[in-house]
Amino acid sequence: MSSLGRHHDPIVAIATAPGRGAVGIVRASGKQLQPLVDALIGAPLKPRQAHYGPFRDATGQPIDHGLALFFPAPNSYTGEAVLELQAHGGPVVLQLLLARCLEAGAGIGLRLAEPGEFTERAFLNDKLDLAQAEAVADLIDASTEAAARSASRSLGGAFSAEVEQLAERIVNLRMLVEATLDFPEEEIDFLEKADARGKLAAIRAAVDAVTARARQGALLREGLRVVLAGQPNVGKSSLLNALAGAELAIVTPIAGTTRDRVSETIQIEGVPLHITDTAGLRDDAEAGDEVERIGMARSWESIHSADAIVFLHDLTRLADADYQAADARIAQRLATADPARLLQVFNKADTGVSAGSDGRLLISARTGAGLEALRQALLKRAGWQAAPEGVFIARSRHVQALKQTAEHLAGAAAHASQADQALDLFAEELRLAHLALQSITGRFSADDLLGEIFSRFCIGK
């Protein structure tokens, strides 16, 4: 992100979403914003108090009337001086205000903010750590109530506090190890008398517990990609409609009706499920035309990238040899997928066909029978557990960092088993575990990582 080299420039942006609204906000941040206050307000502003009046153009004429709020550094969102102009939410009005700010701030180098740059400055000025900064975007993007509440907890520092507690425990253990390395003449049996193994085991258990909760948080944020796969006319489109509670996909008895992927996001217990209905799978030679063949190719693309695959079968055709053979060919191709992702589901249970007693997951997309069992099975495939109130939002990178921490702690445990002869390697693994944890909160992060994270924010936040 180019702003990393320009974070001392004053910046300005429209902070509200595009379109018409009752109120629109133009926000500026920088070390010195007095020229903006003088040019647009023409009167002193008391810190953190709303001032109502005209916002003036270069000739002194009002662009609009609204509220101006000034937050002096460091007591602001970004840690710099912040000026907010709350005007009527028309796009033209806001663009005029933005242009006037850039005109009035030309002498101090005021420029348009880049995506996420206000929050980036909050991070750079130690108002937020990186996990909290990411939670800002996650709260804005939350697609379920559970995700929003979890993002709010992360923004409040719940996740960061747990990470910092783990880091502190690792640092304390490092201090004991390195002190022993510095004073070998003491001839202390460090591993026994300092209970290093016990301390390390407790830290590893704590990391595992936080990792489990972070995985739940990542599910809340990112959801589960579910693909409905199977032969034509097994009821995939009907199942999508039943799960979504809306007629999203066209349903007919004609094979090959679904030509392309149809997707919908639903939620189960607060977890977003991104469900994709795919074209029916059959041999290319049986496809009606080139469009259907392209649709089937896209179906396989979706299957390969899915977190969970619902392989849907038609109970009414299980006795049909040709149907069984086609199902077997699909199953053989699906066998290359991770078996943990595959869920065998049998549709049309409402027809009265005997389904046997082999523990099959039976549903009826027409009547809704068995759908709740299917929902729970999908959550189980995702590794979801009923969310306790304390779950915090997390990202894949957080889970990966915790995994790396656990791996380094496992390495430390292996060296600990060799007693004092491997204390230097023990200390090194603890150092690497500490660095992995610090990458979550941004204590140790590369600039390219920061650029990747903040470039995904909306402009004005």
Please give the annotated binding residues, written as ranges: 27, 84, 127, 233-238, 252-258, 277-280, 347-350, 364-366, 461
CATH number, residue 307:
3.40.50.300
Burial class of residue 446, CB neighbours in 10 A (0-12, 13-18, 19+): exposed
181-225 per-position pLDDT tens digit: 766 555 456 667 778 888 999 999 999 999 988 888 888 888 888
Out of 88, 109, 128, pick the residue that ends a domain.
128
Same domain for 103 and 202: no
Same domain for 139 and 116: no
Q: 20: helix, coil or strand? A: coil
Does 264 map to a domain? yes
| Alpha helix stretches (DSSP H) within 21-90 | 34-36
Confidence of residue 1 (pLDDT cuts 50, 70, 90): very low
Out of 78, 104, 128, pick the residue that ends a domain.
128
Does 458 map to a domain? no
Q: Which domain holds residue 426?
A: 130-442
What token pair was written down for 413? Answer: 């445990």
For the chain, percent of residues with pLDDT exceeding 90: 39
Distances (CA, A) of 228 to 81, 302, 314, 348, 356: 52, 9, 13, 15, 23
Same domain for 183 and 71: no
Does 422 map to a domain? yes
Same domain for 409 and 348: yes
CB burial string 58-97: b at 16+ within 10 A, e below: eeeeebbebbbbbbebeebbbbbbbbbbbbebeeebbebb
Does 460 map to a domain? no
93-138 per-position pLDDT tens digit: 999 999 999 999 999 999 999 999 999 999 999 999 999 999 998 8
Same domain for 371 and 342: yes
Residue positions counted in the chain: 461
Beta bridge partners, 66, equal: 53
Q: 89: helix, coil or strand? A: strand
Going by C-beta distance under 8 Å and a sequence separation of 6 or more, which residues neighbour residue 160? Answer: 129, 131, 132, 154, 440, 441
Prediction pTM value: 0.76
Same domain for 278 and 312: yes
Burial class of residue 245, CB neighbours in 10 A (0-12, 13-18, 19+): exposed
Same domain for 175 and 70: no
Does 265 map to a domain? yes
Confidence of residue 260 (pLDDT cuts 50, 70, 90): very low
Does 449 map to a domain? no
* Average pLDDT, rounded, for the chain: 83
Confidence of residue 399 (pLDDT cuts 50, 70, 90): very high
Determine the residue type at 424.
D
Same domain for 412 and 296: yes
Q: 364: helix, coil or strand? A: coil
- CA 263 – CA 386 distance, rounded (Å): 26
Please give the annotated binding residues for (6S)-5-formyl-5,6,7,8-tetrahydrofolate, written as ranges: 27, 84, 127, 461
Confidence of residue 78 (pLDDT cuts 50, 70, 90): very high
Domains identified in the chain, total number = 2
Q: What is the pLDDT of residue 258?
A: 43
Does 175 map to a domain? yes
Same domain for 359 and 349: yes
Q: Measured in Å, how far apart are the chain's first and last C-alpha atoms?
A: 15
Do 390 and 381 contact (CB within 8 A), yes or no? no
157-173 per-position pLDDT tens digit: 999 999 999 999 999 99
DSSP per residue over 407-455, as a string? HHHHHHHHHHTTGGGGHHHHHHHHHHHHHHHHHHHTSS--HHHHHHHHT
Instruction: Look up tokens 């000026």; give the residue.
Output: 83
For the chain, percent of residues with pLDDT exceeding 70: 85
Same domain for 334 and 370: yes
294-350 per-position pLDDT tens digit: 777 777 777 787 888 888 999 999 888 988 988 888 888 887 766 778 888 999 888
CATH number, residue 111:
3.30.1360.120
Please give the annotated binding residues for Mg(2+), written as ranges: 237, 258
Answer yes or no: is pLDDT of 233 > 90: no
Please give the annotated binding residues for K(+), written as ranges: 233, 252, 254, 257
Same domain for 85 and 52: yes
Torsion sign over Cα 459, 84, 17, 60: negative
16-64 per-position pLDDT tens digit: 988 888 999 999 999 989 999 999 999 999 999 999 999 999 999 999 9
What token pair was written down for 222? Answer: 């990112």
For the segment 68-75, the average pLDDT, to the nearest whole number, is 95
Answer yes or no: is pLDDT of 357 > 60: no
Same domain for 205 and 60: no
Please give the annotated binding residues for GTP, written as ranges: 233-238, 252-258, 277-280, 347-350, 364-366
Answer yes or no: is pLDDT of 13 > 90: yes
Does 240 map to a domain? yes
Out of 103, 128, 153, pick the residue that ends a domain.
128
Burial class of residue 11, CB neighbours in 10 A (0-12, 13-18, 19+): buried
